[in-house]
Amino acid sequence: MGPDDPLADRGALALQALRQQLRELGLPLRLREIGGEGGHGGDGRLLQLQGCRIQLVCAPFAADSLAVPAALWRRPGPTPHLLLGAWVEEECGAVRLPGVLTAAELAGGALAAADAPDPFPLPLSAFHGGLDRLFALVRLMAPEALLPPVPAPLRLGDWLDGLVDGALLALGAELLPAGAGVFRAAAPAAPSAPGEALATVAIPLALVLGQLEAGPSPGPASERFRLLLQLCGERAGAQWLEVRLEPQLPGDLLPQRLTLRIGDRQIDTGEEGGSGALALTVPAGEEEIAIDLTHGGGSRLSLPPLRFRARLGEGNPEPTA
């Protein structure tokens, strides 16, 4: 496909230039497309170079920035390891590849913010190192080393001791007093009564200009509600976690198009909103618990990963029944 071909979009020309550089340098690196568009229209590709996933995003040659699809870097599951920017002149087939950014570098910037626009503009000056840096990272670094560090899961059992991790406190989380029925039983392993939780962590939420915000919102908010994380079962070994979204005040409505997702399960308020609570339960186990809240398919809030018990090497596990 040449520059005179009417089907030669910017993404195709940039990919062609990258393949040409690999051939000219004689680098034994396998490059292939792995499906889907990495950008809007013909301005991107999703690639794999050796073991690294790369998002290639292009802009016109005279542009001073390019538009990066932000959703690709916020979705659950694996993100690309690298972002490769390309500035392309379609008429003559000229391609400029100024450099790459790693996923770890992007995670520390504004792109990772929940209220970042999508697509997100990145200036030409943000990219550096050219293809030398790209090839060096792919050849010398393990792909996992290019990703941001994964936070250690927070232990739910700490709530029984009155402890809430700083990552949740940063979201405005508060440990609510347990119901009196939890303490009436003489046996320490007695189960919580129906409707009562052994420990409850509440996170205040609000919609501000269409964006989800956690914590007490000082500004005007169209709707306020809260997320409850309720640890239920026996004190000697929690049996399940109930995750609830409920209006701030009884009788209020939850926002429309609000989706609560835990792993591969989800529940939503639909187009009409709802006056009742949304709730999902998670049985005790060894797997991490990933909780996400989205509004209208755009604004998203992700909680730090949670876990019932520590694995070997991660500290003392909770006592089991």
Q: Quick one: pLDDT at residue 210?
A: 78
Residues in the chain: 321
pLDDT in tens, 220-279: 667 889 999 999 987 776 689 999 999 888 778 888 888 999 988 999 888 776 667 889
Q: What phi, psi does 197 have (nearest 5°)?
A: -120, 150
pLDDT in tens, 31-40: 988 865 444 4
Q: Quick one: pLDDT at residue 221?
A: 64
Q: Quick one: pLDDT at residue 250?
A: 79
pLDDT in tens, 301-317: 888 889 886 543 444 43
Closest CA to 75 of 128, 118, 125, 16: 118
CA-derived radius of gyration, the chain: 24
- What b/e string do you get for 112-150 counting C-beta neighbours within 10 Å, with b at 16 or more? eebebebbbbbebebbeeebebbbebbeeeebeebbeee
Adjacent-strand bridge partners of 9: none
pLDDT in tens, 45-68: 889 998 898 999 999 988 998 888
pLDDT at residue 189 greater than cutoff 80: no
Domains of the chain and CATH, by start: 10-146 (3.40.1350), 154-307 (no CATH)
Q: Answer whether 72's CB lies under 8 Å from 24's CB.
A: no
pLDDT in tens, 133-178: 999 999 888 887 777 776 677 888 889 888 888 888 888 999 988 6
Pick the more confident residue, 54 or 189: 54
Average pLDDT, the chain: 78
Q: Quick one: pLDDT at residue 312?
A: 39
pLDDT at residue 23 greater than cutoff 90: yes
Q: Answer whether 229's CB lies under 8 Å from 241's CB.
A: yes
Q: How far apart are CA 70 and CA 182, in angstroms?
A: 45
pLDDT at residue 218 greater than cutoff 50: yes
pLDDT at residue 120 greater than cutoff 80: yes
Mean pLDDT for the stretch of residues 85-102 = 89
DSSP state for residue 40 in the 8-state scheme: S
Decide the pairing of beta strands 154-155 and 174-176: unpaired
